[in-house]
């Protein structure tokens, strides 16, 4: 009889001990997660930024851990921009606490120093960060039916699916690998010099190595990318796929900013059917007359020969060039 009771008591005792241990562990993770949020808030505020979180509410016990953060507001210490949202949820898997997922549960408003505002909304908007000790292992953003709306400008940008990730480049310390994939994009308005390409982009995908990428976390007032540019930062396009209007291509390139913060670089894009592409560019309303005639002649030649082309698009000394022909002047990026 005693042996039979013992067989019942031991499993239940182990279950109770395990349950109490899990409760203690879950609450420890919740306390630690809140502590890290408040520590980050304190560090940002001490550095000149302003971080406000109205309230933090815990959810998810016993399986998951979710911190519901209400009325979140962030004002950058440099760059003059701010962001705010009514709610964002921080999700942590108790079995993988080094992996945190931040989900936007309300539209996000981003205001820039020049007074412009962009409102962001999506069916799902999730950012994730995975660390290895104190070092970044990978970070990413994923959005479904993403909409970017600037109330002061006509049109909105819409993308059915957007996925972006960044991770340290294993081949070079201080460099980062950045990947981006956007599908079924509707542009808010025509892109200057490419107006005839239309507003619908079927896909834009890029794999980029950002050299000296760690310097992008630094900035100076009015010059957010200054330290990165002065430190020799460039972007190397290992692959860029673009399906937009008459253009379907997968190419390579490199780029950065010049001293006046204008685009500086080169894209090399193989094109199987160059005539429609060159014709569309030449029909743009902002194309120089000499460039229009030259591009039209090039297009006519490719209609006759049927040859493909490797399209060379360059940006140097403040001028955009296509196949060496000057198309238009380039203003500073900011």
Which one is predicted more confidently, 211 or 7?
A: 211
Question: Half-sphere exposure of residue 299, counting CA atoms within 13 Å on the CB side?
Answer: 17
Neighbours of 170 (CB within 10 A): 8
In whole angstroms, what is the distance from residue 334 CA to residue 331 CA? 8
Residues in the chain: 334
* Residue 331 scores a pLDDT above 50: yes
The separation between the first and the last C-alpha atoms of the chain, rounded to the nearest angstrom, is 83
Here the tokens at position 281 are 């560019």
Give the range with max mean pLDDT: 78-87, 96-105, 238-247. 238-247
What is the average pLDDT across 276-286? 87
Quick check: 230 pLDDT over 50? Answer: yes
Three-state helix/strand/coil letters over 117-186: EEEEECCEEEEEEEEECCEEEEEEEEEEEEEEECCCCCCEEEEEEEEEEEEECCCCCCCEEEEEEEEEEE
Ranges 24-38, 169-183, 193-207: which has the least confidence:
24-38
pLDDT mean over 160-176: 93
pLDDT band, residue 25 (cuts 50/70/90): confident
**Residue that wins the pLDDT comparison between 199 and 29:** 199
Task: Say yes or no to pLDDT of 219 above 60.
Answer: yes
- Residue 11: per-residue pLDDT: 66
Residue 312: phi and psi, rounded to 5, are -105, 115
pLDDT for 44 beyond 60: yes
Q: Which of 115-129, 267-281, 287-301 has the lowest mean pLDDT?
A: 287-301
Pairwise pLDDT comparison (254 vs 289), residue with the higher score: 254
List Cβ neighbours of 263 (8 Å cut-off, separation of 6 or more). Answer: 255, 257, 315, 320, 330, 333
Domain positions in the chain are 1-153
Average model confidence (pLDDT) for the chain? 89
Q: What confidence tens digit (pLDDT) does each residue in 56-81 have? A: 999 988 878 899 999 999 998 877 78
pLDDT at 162 (0 to 100): 98
pLDDT mean over 44-49:
89
Cβ atoms within 10 Å, residue 100: 20
> What would the mean pLDDT of 33-52 be, rounded to a whole number?
91
| pLDDT greater than 70 at residue 8 | no
Quote the pLDDT of residue 1. Answer: 47
Residue 289: what pLDDT?
Answer: 85
pLDDT given for residue 135 in this prediction = 85
């Amino acid at each position: 009889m005693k042996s039979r009771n013992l067989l019942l008591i031991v499993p239940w005792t182990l279950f109770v001990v395990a349950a109490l241990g899990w409760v203690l562990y879950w609450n420890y993770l919740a306390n630690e997660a809140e502590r890290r949020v408040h520590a980050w808030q304190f560090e940002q505020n001490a550095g000149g930024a302003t971080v406000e979180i109205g309230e933090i509410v815990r959810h998810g016990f016993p399986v998951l851990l979710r911190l519901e953060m209400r009325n979140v507001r962030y004002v950058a210490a440099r760059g003059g921009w701010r962001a705010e949202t009514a709610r964002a949820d921080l999700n942590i898997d108790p079995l993988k606490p080094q992996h945190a997922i931040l989900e936007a549960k309300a539209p996000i408003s981003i205001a820039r120093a020049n007074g412009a505002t962009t409102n962001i909304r999506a069916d799902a908007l999730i950012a994730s960060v995975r660390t290895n000790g104190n070092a970044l292992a990978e970070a990413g953003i994923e959005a479904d039916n993403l909409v970017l709306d600037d109330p002061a400008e006509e049109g909105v940008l819409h993308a059915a699916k957007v996925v972006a990730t960044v991770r340290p480049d294993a081949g070079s310390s201080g460099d980062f690998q950045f990947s981006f994939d956007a599908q079924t994009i509707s542009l808010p308005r025509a892109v200057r010099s490419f107006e005839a390409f239309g507003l619908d982009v079927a896909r834009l995908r890029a794999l980029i190595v950002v050299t000296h990428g760690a310097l992008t976390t630094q900035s100076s007032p009015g010059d957010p990318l200054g330290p990165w540019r002065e430190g020799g930062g460039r972007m190397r396009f290992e692959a860029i796929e673009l399906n937009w209007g008459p253009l379907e291509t997968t190419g390579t390139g490199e780029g950065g900013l010049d001293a006046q913060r204008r685009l500086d670089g080169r894209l090399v894009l193989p094109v199987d059917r160059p005539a429609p592409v060159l014709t569309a560019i030449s029909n743009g309303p902002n194309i120089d007359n000499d460039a229009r005639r030259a591009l039209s002649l090039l297009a006519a030649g490719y209609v006759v020969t049927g040859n493909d082309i490797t399209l060379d698009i360059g940006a140097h000394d403040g001028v955009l060039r296509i196949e060496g022909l000057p198309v238009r002047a380039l203003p500073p990026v900011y």
